């Protein structure tokens, strides 16, 4: 018989909540009263004794959360409750919250259980994503549910640095095309941590696809954060594509923040000017936004000049 079955009211229970001590199955309101006491003196064993699948979900969740916060002391009561009631979602969460190696091992074993609450299990494993097989994460990312995709993305963060850019993009691709902003934004924020041209190009494609406003803003911010020569060129291409729209101002702000690559911006603007794809006035306005000064004020139309042509106090920060 599990030691959980032999539990009986203990003296500490009387001290922490005397109204409950005389009742083998205290009412929900009394359990809430005990949980609300500050400080709460309920032991892990007492928290586990109060847990029952027939209690309201919010109370089960509160008990499990408090049990998981006991860390090492909460591990065995969690395992005993799972042995008695099965892998309830709240108990899986509590097991993950203990942050114990034995808890991780128990959760990983449930990956082979087809009847487990998959979402609850993956969320419980969020702190151990490196130990979750990539095939399991891929399955979650391809699931149609928003919550499952977000759980998979949280686990993918542990593998991202170990994957090549093409591998990472293949995993993130289903999310980038998701019409639900939270899903697409989670993938965008993962890609912005890398600086490969392939990933920067995919973010630029998101900008061109006319996504929801929140997704567009996240992709623009991500492209600006990458801060490479490729991303600067892509930002300029984006600005060319959205000239005359409210979004062009936001793109200009991102271009203005690319201090390390002002020479690339100047070079590309000069090429566009020579190709007739941009006017002198547009170039001057862009440089005024980026540098905070009108570089054409001296009449050098069509010649963007260089940092060396400017007085020392006018040079860009990257000079």
pLDDT band of 261, cuts 50, 70, 90: confident
Q: Distances in Å between the alpha carbon of 12 and those of 29, 30, 44, 61?
A: 19, 16, 11, 23
Q: Distances in Å between the alpha carbon of 209 and those of 114, 272, 277?
A: 38, 23, 22
Give residue 12's pLDDT.
Answer: 40
For every residue of 258-288, DSSP letters joined together read: -GGGHHHHHHHHHHHHHHTSS-HHHHHHHHH
Q: How far apart are CA 194 and CA 157, in angstroms?
A: 12
pLDDT in tens, 277-317: 888 887 887 777 766 644 444 444 444 444 434 443 433 43
Give residue 37's pLDDT.
Answer: 83
Q: How far apart are CA 306 and CA 293, in angstroms?
A: 14
For every residue of 138-180, DSSP letters joined together read: HHHHHSS-HHHHHHHHHHHTTTGGGS-HHHHHHHHHHHHT-SS
Q: How far apart are CA 72 and CA 244, in angstroms?
A: 60
E strands within 11-81? none
Give residue 103's pLDDT.
Answer: 97
Mean pLDDT of 176-197: 96
Mean pLDDT of 23-37: 78
Instruction: Kindly report the average pLDDT of the chain as a whole number.
Output: 84
User: Does the pLDDT of residue 49 top 90, yes or no?
Assistant: yes
pTM, full prediction? 0.78
Give residue 298's pLDDT.
Answer: 44
pLDDT band of 1, cuts 50, 70, 90: very low
b/e for 196-207, b at 16 or more Cβ within 10 A?
beebbebbbebb
Give residue 106's pLDDT.
Answer: 96
């Amino acid at each position: 018989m599990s030691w959980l079955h032999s539990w009986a009211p203990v003296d500490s229970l009387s001290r922490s909540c005397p109204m409950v001590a005389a009742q083998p199955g205290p009412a929900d309101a009394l359990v809430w009263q005990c949980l609300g006491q500050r400080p709460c003196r309920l032991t892990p064993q007492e928290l586990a004794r109060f847990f029952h699948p027939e209690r309201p979900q919010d109370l089960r969740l509160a008990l499990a959360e408090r049990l998981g916060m006991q860390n090492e002391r909460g591990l065995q009561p969690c395992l005993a409750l799972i042995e008695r009631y099965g892998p309830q979602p709240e108990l899986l969460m509590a097991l993950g919250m203990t942050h114990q190696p034995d808890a991780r091992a128990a959760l990983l074993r449930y990956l082979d259980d087809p009847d487990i609450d998959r979402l609850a299990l993956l969320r419980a494993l969020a702190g151990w994503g490196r130990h979750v097989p990539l095939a399991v994460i891929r399955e979650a990312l391809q699931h149609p549910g928003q919550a499952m995709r977000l759980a998979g993305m949280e686990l993918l963060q542990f593998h991202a640095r170990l994957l090549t850019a093409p591998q990472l993009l293949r995993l993130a691709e289903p999310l980038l095309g998701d019409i639900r902003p939270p899903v697409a934004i989670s993938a965008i924020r993962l890609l912005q941590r890398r600086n490969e041209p392939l990933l920067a190009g995919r973010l630029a494609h998101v900008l061109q696809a006319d996504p929801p406003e929140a997704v567009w803003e996240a992709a623009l911010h991500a492209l600006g954060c990458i801060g490479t020569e490729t991303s600067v060129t892509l930002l300029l291409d984006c600005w060319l594509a959205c000239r005359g729209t409210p979004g062009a101002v936001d793109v200009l702000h991102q271009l203005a923040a690319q201090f390390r690559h002002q020479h690339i911006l100047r070079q590309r603007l000069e090429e566009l000017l020579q190709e007739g794809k941009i006017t002198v006035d547009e170039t001057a306005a862009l440089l005024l936004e980026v540098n905070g000064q009108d570089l054409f004020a001296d009449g050098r139309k069509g010649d963007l000049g260089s940092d060396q042509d400017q007085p020392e106090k006018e040079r860009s920060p990257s000079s």
